[in-house]
Every structure is written in C-alpha cells, then in structure tokens.
Amino acid sequence: MALRITDACINCDVCEPECPNGAISAGPEIYVIDPRRCTECVGHFDAPQCREVCPVDCIPLDPQWPESPEALRAKYERLLAEGIAKPPA
C-alpha cells in the first residue's frame, strides 16, 4: 500500500529528503505523497523512512492504493530502471 500524509502534517520538512523515490513533495497546504512512486521504502529500508522521522505520526497507509509486498517490490524495480529511485547504498 502506498502511504499518505494527513492534515495533521505540520510542514516540518523532515520527510521529503528521506524518501528514496522522490515520492514526497510540498502540496498547496501540506506535504503530499505520490502513490505511483511510494514503495514504503521497499528495496531501500526495512521501514518507511518518512514514518520514522515524522514527529506527529501523520503518515498512515493509503487504503485507496492497496498493494502487496510483491507489487511494492515490482514498483521499486520499475522506478530503479527508470532512474527515479535511488540505487541502494
């Protein structure tokens, strides 16, 4: 499942640089996550880094984008092939 940012976001700017797929960007009022790029950090980390650094816990799963672990891995592989995802360190 992709993640989403709720209106509890305080625009602290810590999540955006943590996303290895560039899925997080500033929206009109709060940060937003592009579900086409969000892999929950599959391929990079054991846990979504945006959730790890968020001080207000405002990044839940997005039920509108249900994805299996296999689908998240396939998305990561596609983003990597397209040069969008950062290669793992």
48-71 pLDDT, tens digit each: 999 999 999 999 999 999 999 999
Q: Is residue 31 part of a domain?
A: yes
Q: Is residue 2 part of a domain?
A: no
Domain total of the chain? 1
Q: Is residue 47 part of a domain?
A: yes
Residue 20: which CATH number? Answer: 3.30.70.20
Q: Is residue 74 part of a domain?
A: yes
Confidence of residue 40 (pLDDT cuts 50, 70, 90): very high
Q: Is residue 35 part of a domain?
A: yes
pLDDT at 19 over 80: yes
Task: Write out the residue range of the structural domain in which residue 62 sits.
Answer: 16-81
Closest alpha carbon to 40 in 77, 2, 5, 86:
2
Angle (nearest 5°) at CA 43 between 39 and 46: 85
pLDDT score recorded for residue 26: 97
State how far the alpha carbon of 85 is from the alpha carbons of 9, 30, 56, in Å.
Answer: 24, 23, 26
Q: Of all helices (H) and strands (E), which one includes residue 80?
A: helix 69-81
pLDDT, mean over the chain: 95
